[in-house]
Chains A and B, each alone.
Chain A
Amino acid sequence: MPMKGRFPLRRTLQYLSQGDVVFKSSVKVMTVNYNTAGELSEGARKFVFFNIPQIQYKNPWVQIMLFRNMTPSPFLRFYLDNGEQVLVDVEDKTNKEITEHVKKILGKSKEMLEKEERERKKLSHPATFGPKKYHLRECMCEIEGQVPCPAFVPLPKEMRGKYKAAMRNEA
């Protein structure tokens, strides 16, 4: 079978891109201390299982470390680049609440994300043609309604250079 793990849905791109926690650029390390047993740690366990892949996908440059069964109660700790540490107590919280909390205190707001998106779009012009890596289209023949690529559909002879040259020579 091609599916791996208990919840292979967590590995799909669609699921990962649905994560909405994008950290501010000052957050460098995220540490999660939780327990593998106990009712109070249930939310933290679910958070680690379901939401951390989404967070890591959206923040590939943030280091995430998990510590199991080291403390009696679960908590999150964020290390910012100015040396500040942010402690978040997650005992007796569901994983949804935890993500909401984290998004509120250290996530980029929606306006900021949209602004960044707009900045990124400004760098490239959508009307230019060129390699697929940098532009949307390579040739005019890709667009519907335009003359199709002569590699697939031969041009009518009136548009071909050899016909035109022959006509000109004849005349």
Chain B
Amino acid sequence: AAMLPALRRCRPGPVPLPALAAALGPGPFPGLCPGWSPRTVPARGRKTRHDPPAKSKAGRVKLPPPVDPEELLVVLERYRQHRLVLSALRAEFRAEVLQRKREERLAAEGSVEEQEEHRRLMAWNDEENARQQARREERARKEEEEQKRKKLEIAEKQARKMEAFLEEKEKEVLQLQEEAKNFITPENLEARIQECLDNPRNYNFAIDKDGRIVKRTVLS
């Protein structure tokens, strides 16, 4: 039948309740601590939990105390309403406290002076950024100038090198031209040979231990 779970305990039958000392324990105690206090005494008595129950208790059926259904209904309903009201009140107070805290925080932070201060600081920050920007541009400009200067220098050096090189080459060419005048060509070959034969050159020389060179020797 559709009975309240609490009433199910009252019906007779071999349905012993498993709760014995566990239900008695946390009764006078606010928390569910398992320690025994002077108010709660263990109901075990002489035997331990592992000893079998006595033969005289073989057919014993333990029934819970009888409950009047109407009284139970009334009491449960009253308790339900009481708890409902209490929890609603608690929630109400909690919300009010939170609201007050939030308002106070907002008032402390969202006030006009605070906003003014914030704006002033942001403006200062923007100025600082602008100054930094100016510095950065200055630096970039300097670097560019430096780069250009370096490039110019390199180009100049290159140009100078090229010039020097060209000058060298020019000098060599001129020298060669000069020497070319004394070259032996097929035309003046005969004349040159004749000239050499006519003027014999003496390449012999004498040198003594002191290092004096004597070039005037006898040519044979």
A binding-site residues for B, Cβ under 8 Å: 24-26, 73, 86-89, 91-93, 101, 104-106
Q: How far is the CB of A24 from chain B (nearest CB, A)?
A: 7
A-B contacts besides A88-B128, A89-B132, A101-B125, 10 pairs, CB < 8 Å = A25-B105, A73-B136, A86-B122, A87-B125, A88-B125, A91-B132, A92-B135, A104-B121, A105-B121, A105-B122
B residues adjacent to A (C-beta < 8 A)? 105, 109, 121-122, 124-125, 128-129, 132-133, 135-136, 139
Give the complex CA separation of A69 and B91 in angstroms: 52
Residues of A within 8 A of B105 (CB): 25
Would you list the 3 A-B pairs with minimal beta carbon distance, nearest first? A89-B132, A105-B121, A89-B129
A26 to B136, CA, bound (A): 31
- A101 to B127, alpha carbons, bound, how many Å? 12
Given A104-B121, A105-B122 in contact, is the A88-B109 Cβ separation under 8 Å? no
List the A side residues contacting B121 at CB < 8 Å. 104-106
CA distance A91 to B128 in the complex (A): 12
Q: Across the interface, name the chain A residue whose C-beta is closest to B125.
A: A105
The answer to whether residues A26 and B129 also contact, given A86-B122, A104-B121, A105-B122 and a CB cut-off of 8 A, is no
Offer 11 A-B interface pairs, CB within 8 angstroms, sorted by A. Answer: A25-B109, A26-B109, A87-B125, A89-B128, A89-B133, A101-B125, A104-B121, A104-B124, A105-B124, A105-B125, A106-B121
CA distance A87 to B105 in the complex (A): 26
Chain B contacts for A89, CB-based, 8 A: 128-129, 132-133
Instruction: Indicate if the CB atoms of B128 and A101 lie closer than 8 Å.
Output: yes
Nearest to A112 among chain B residues (CB) is B108
* Cα separation A89 to B128 with both chains bound (whole Å): 8
Complex Cα–Cα for A105 and B124 (A): 8
A25 to B109: give the CA distance in the assembly, Å: 9
Cα distance A76–B135 in the bound complex, in angstroms: 18
Query: Which A residues touch B136, using CB under 8 A?
Result: 73, 91-92
> For residue B139, which residues in chain A have a CB less than 8 angstroms away from its CB?
92
Q: Which of B129, B133, B135 contacts A88 (CB 8 A)?
A: B129
A91-B138 Cα distance, complex, nearest whole Å: 13
Q: Which residues of B contact A88 (CB under 8 A)?
A: 125, 128-129
Using Cβ atoms and an 8 Å threshold, which residues of chain A touch B135? 92
List of B residues within 8 angstroms of A24 by Cβ: 109
CB distance from A120 to the nearest CB of B (A): 14
A94 to B124, CA, bound (A): 19
Output the least CB separation between A127 and chain B (Å): 26
CB distance from B195 to the nearest CB of A (A): 77
Chain A residue nearest to B139 (CB atoms) is A92
Which residues from B are CB-within-8-Å of A91? 132, 136
Give Cα A88 to B129, complex, Å.
Answer: 7
Q: A73-B136, A92-B135 known; A86 and B125 CB under 8 Å?
A: yes
Specify which chain B residues have a CB less than 8 angstroms from the CB of A104 in the assembled complex. 121, 124
Q: Which residues in A have their C-beta under 8 angstroms from that of B129? A: 87-89
- Most chain-B CB neighbours within 10 Å: which of A86, A87, A93? A86
Closest chain B residue to A90 by CB distance? B132
Chain A residues contacting B109 (CB-CB under 8 Å) are 24-26
